[in-house]
């Protein structure tokens, strides 16, 4: 497991997991650090990603654009945003998907078990 100021990250069963700390504010520098850590954990291997955004408070436009770019999605075979039923968090997820239109298979889930089941298709 690797942590930084905004999240913790780990690999389990060939899926990369990330979980934002409560109140996380993601700017471009934080987004670049997220990708650096993810790529380090993956050690060059393409893997699906499950990112728990329930603690996310703010995602800047520059961060959003970077995370949805080819560099931000490098070595990611599929992506899931894990949300709660909060309208705020689900809105952030929907806006991210709509504005970045990721080039990989992507979905949003509120139940981790269902998210993992879907991601297992992309290992």
For residues 73-109, one letter each, b for 16 or more C-beta atoms within 10 angstroms of the residue's C-beta and e for the rest, the string is beebbbbbbbbeeeeebbebbeebbeebebeeebebb
pLDDT of 116 over the 80 cut: yes
Q: Is the dihedral of CA 85, 89, 95, 101 positive or negative?
A: negative
pLDDT of 88 over the 80 cut: no
Task: Write down the domain spans for the chain.
Answer: 2-122
Q: Report the percentage of the chain scoring pLDDT > 90.
A: 77
pTM for the model stands at 0.89
* Confidence (pLDDT) at 94: 79
- Under the banding of pLDDT at 50, 70 and 90, the label for residue 98 is confident
Q: Token pair of 3, please?
A: 């942590």
* Confidence (pLDDT) at 36: 96
pLDDT of 93 over the 80 cut: no
The three-class DSSP label of residue 104 is coil
Contact by Cβ (8 Å): 71, 35: yes
Q: How confident is the model over 27-82, as pLDDT tens digits?
A: 999 999 999 999 999 999 999 999 999 999 999 999 999 999 999 999 999 999 88
pLDDT of 86 over the 80 cut: no
Class of the domain covering 2-122: alpha beta
């Amino acid at each position: 497991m690797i942590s930084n100021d905004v999240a913790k990250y780990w690999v389990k069963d060939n899926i990369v997991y990330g979980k934002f700390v409560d109140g996380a504010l993601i700017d471009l520098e934080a987004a670049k650090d997220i990708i650096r850590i993810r790529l380090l954990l993956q050690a060059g291997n393409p893997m699906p990603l499950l990112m728990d955004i329930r603690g996310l408070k703010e995602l800047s436009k520059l961060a959003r654009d970077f995370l949805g770019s080819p560099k931000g999605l490098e070595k990611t075979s599929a992506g899931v945003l894990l949300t709660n039923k909060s309208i705020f968090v689900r809105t952030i997820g929907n806006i991210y998907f709509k504005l970045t239109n990721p080039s990989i298979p992507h979905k949003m889930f509120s139940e981790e078990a269902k998210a993992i089941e879907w991601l297992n298709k992309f290992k």
